[in-house]
Chain A
Amino acid sequence: MANIHPYGCFTHAIVRGIPESFGKLAEGGEGAQADLAKAQRQMGVLTGTLRQKVGLQLIEIPADAQLPESWRIEDVAVIQGDTALITRPFKQQRRSEAEAVRRVMSELNLTVVEMGDEEGGSAGATLEGSDVLFTGKEFFVGISKHTNHRGAEVLADTFKDFAVSTVPVCGGSRLKNICSMGGPDTIIISQSEGAKKTLRMMEQLTDHHYDILSVAEDVAANCVYVRSPAKVDFLLHPTAEECPDSIPVFQRLTDYTLLPTACSEAFKQGGALSSLCLLINKKLGC
Chain B
Amino acid sequence: MTTEVGTETDVKKEPEKVQEVQQQTDQPDKTSDGAAPANAEEHQQGSQSAEAPTEQEESPEPRSPTPAGEQKKEKGISRFLPPWLKRQKSQSQEKESESAAANVKDEEQEEKGIKETSEDQPAEVKEVTGEKSKPEEVQVEEKDREEQKSVGSADTQPVREETEGEPDEKHKQQVNAQETPSKLTKKMKMVVCHVTLLDGSQFTCDVEKRAKGQYLFFEVCKHLNLMEKDYFSLSFKDSADQRCWLDPTKEIKRQIRNSQWQFAFSVKFYPPDPSQLTEDITRYLLCLQLRQDIASGRLPCSFVTHALLGSYALQAELGDYDTEEHRVDYIADFQFAPNQTKELEEKVVELHKSHRGMTPAQADIQFLENAKKLSMYGVDLHHAKDSDGVDIMLGVCANGLLIYKDRLRINRFAWPKILKISYKRSNFYIKIRPGETEQFESSVGFKLPNHRAAKRVWKVCVEHHTFFRLTSPEQPTKTKFLTLGSKFRYSGRTQAQTRQASTLIDRPAPYFERTSSKRISRSLDGAPVVNVAGGDSMGVGENGPTLELNSDTKSKLRVQGENIYVRHSNLMLEDLDKTQEDVLKHQASISELKRSFMEATPEPRPSQWEKRLTGSPATTLRLQVSGSLEEELTSLFLSKACFSGLTRSCSTTAAPVEGSKLSALPEDPQKTSPHPENDSRDGSKSSEVIPDVNGQMEVVEVLEETVVIEEVVKAKPKSPAPEVTTEIGTAPEVKEEQSLSSDSESEDEAEYHAQTPSASFCVQQIKEEPEEEEAELNQQAPPSDAEPIRETESSAIEEESSSAQPDEGISTEEVSMTPDEASNGHVLDTEDPPATEGEEPHIVNGNVSRVETERLPQVICCSEPPVVKTEMVTISDTFAAQKTEISTKEVPIVHTETKTITYEAAQLDGNGDGEPGVLMTAQTITSESLCTTTTTHITKTLKGGLSETRIEKRIVITGDSDIDHDQALAQAIKEAKEQHPDMSVTRVVVHKETELAEDED
Residues of A within 8 A of B (CB): 1-4, 81-83, 111, 138, 141, 149, 152-153, 156-157, 159-166, 200, 204-207
B405 with A149: CB separation less than 8 A: yes
B409 with A164: CB separation less than 8 A: yes
Q: Which of B26-34, B296-304, B641-649, B856-864 is found at the contact surface with chain A?
A: B296-304
- Of residues 296 through 325 on chain B, the ones whose CB sits less than 8 Å from some CB of chain A are 300-305, 308
A165 with B409: CB separation less than 8 A: yes
Task: Give min CB distance, B418 to chain A, whole Å.
Answer: 12
A156 with B305: CB separation less than 8 A: no
A3 with B302: CB separation less than 8 A: yes
Counting chain B CB atoms within 10 Å of each CB, the highest count among A141, A161, A166 belongs to A161
If A1-B304, A2-B305, A3-B302 touch, does A161 touch B412 (CB 8 Å cutoff)? no
Partner of B373, one of A4, A152, A153, A159: A4
A1 with B374: CB separation less than 8 A: yes
B409 with A163: CB separation less than 8 A: yes
Binary interface profile of B, 477-488, with partner A (CB < 8 Å = 1, else 0)? Answer: 000000000000
For residue B994, CB closer than 8 A to chain A, the reply is no
- 11 A-B pairs, CB-CB below 8 angstroms? A2-B370, A82-B304, A83-B304, A149-B405, A152-B408, A161-B304, A163-B409, A164-B407, A164-B408, A204-B412, A207-B399
If A1-B373, A204-B411, A207-B399 touch, does A161 touch B305 (CB 8 Å cutoff)? yes
Question: Given the complex, which residues of A lie within 8 Å of B412, measured CB to CB?
Answer: 165, 204-207
B406 with A111: CB separation less than 8 A: no
A149 with B302: CB separation less than 8 A: no
- Of residues 406 through 428 on chain B, the ones whose CB sits less than 8 Å from some CB of chain A are 406-412
Question: Given the complex, which residues of B lie within 8 Å of A206, measured CB to CB?
Answer: 412
Question: Given the complex, which residues of A lie within 8 Å of B308, measured CB to CB?
Answer: 1-2
Smallest CB-CB A-B distances: 4 pairs:
A163-B375, A156-B407, A165-B409, A160-B300
Complex-state Cα separation, A206 to B304, whole angstroms: 24
Question: Given the complex, which residues of B lie within 8 Å of A204, measured CB to CB?
Answer: 411-412
Taking A157-B407, A161-B302, A163-B375 as known contacts, 14 extra A-B pairs with beta carbons closer than 8 A to each other, sorted by chain A number, are A2-B305, A2-B308, A3-B304, A4-B370, A83-B302, A149-B408, A153-B407, A161-B301, A161-B304, A161-B375, A164-B408, A164-B409, A204-B411, A205-B411
Residues of B within 8 A of A (CB): 300-305, 308, 370, 373-375, 399, 405-412, 435
Task: Give min CB distance, B352 to chain A, whole Å.
Answer: 13
The closest CB in chain A to the CB of B406 belongs to: A153
Question: Given the complex, which residues of B lie within 8 Å of A149, measured CB to CB?
Answer: 405-406, 408
Complex-state Cα separation, A166 to B404, whole angstroms: 10
Task: Give min CB distance, A110 to chain B, whole Å.
Answer: 12
Task: Give min CB distance, A41 to chain B, whole Å.
Answer: 40
Task: Give min CB distance, A9 to chain B, whole Å.
Answer: 16
Task: Give min CB distance, A98 to chain B, whole Å.
Answer: 21
A1 with B305: CB separation less than 8 A: yes
Question: Given the complex, which residues of B lie within 8 Å of A157, measured CB to CB?
Answer: 407
Question: Given the complex, which residues of B lie within 8 Å of A165, measured CB to CB?
Answer: 408-410, 412
If A1-B370, A162-B375 touch, does A81 touch B304 (CB 8 Å cutoff)? yes
Complex-state Cα separation, A83 to B303, whole angstroms: 10
Question: Given the complex, which residues of A lie within 8 Å of B300, measured CB to CB?
Answer: 160
If A1-B370, A2-B370, A207-B399 touch, does A156 touch B408 (CB 8 Å cutoff)? yes
A153 with B370: CB separation less than 8 A: no
Task: Give min CB distance, A150 to chain B, whole Å.
Answer: 9
If A160-B300, A162-B375 touch, does A3 touch B407 (CB 8 Å cutoff)? no
Task: Give min CB distance, A2 to chain B, whole Å.
Answer: 5
If A164-B409, A205-B412 touch, does A111 touch B303 (CB 8 Å cutoff)? yes
The closest CB in chain B to the CB of A204 belongs to: B412
B304 with A205: CB separation less than 8 A: no
Complex-state Cα separation, A284 to B895, whole angstroms: 59
Partner of B301, one of A138, A156, A160: A160
Question: Given the complex, which residues of A lie within 8 Å of B303, measured CB to CB?
Answer: 83, 111
Complex-state Cα separation, A207 to B302, whole angstroms: 20
Task: Give min CB distance, A195 to chain B, whole Å.
Answer: 16
Question: Given the complex, which residues of B lie within 8 Å of A161, measured CB to CB?
Answer: 301-302, 304-305, 373-375
Complex-state Cα separation, A166 to B405, whole angstroms: 10
Task: Give min CB distance, A44 to chain B, whole Å.
Answer: 36
Question: Given the complex, which residues of B lie within 8 Å of A159, measured CB to CB?
Answer: 302
The closest CB in chain A to the CB of B437 belongs to: A200
Complex-state Cα separation, A159 to B435, whole angstroms: 32
Question: Given the complex, which residues of A lie within 8 Å of B374, measured CB to CB?
Answer: 1, 161
Complex-state Cα separation, A1 to B366, whole angstroms: 9
Partner of A1, one of B301, B399, B405: B301
The closest CB in chain A to the CB of B409 belongs to: A165
Task: Give min CB distance, A3 to chain B, whole Å.
Answer: 5
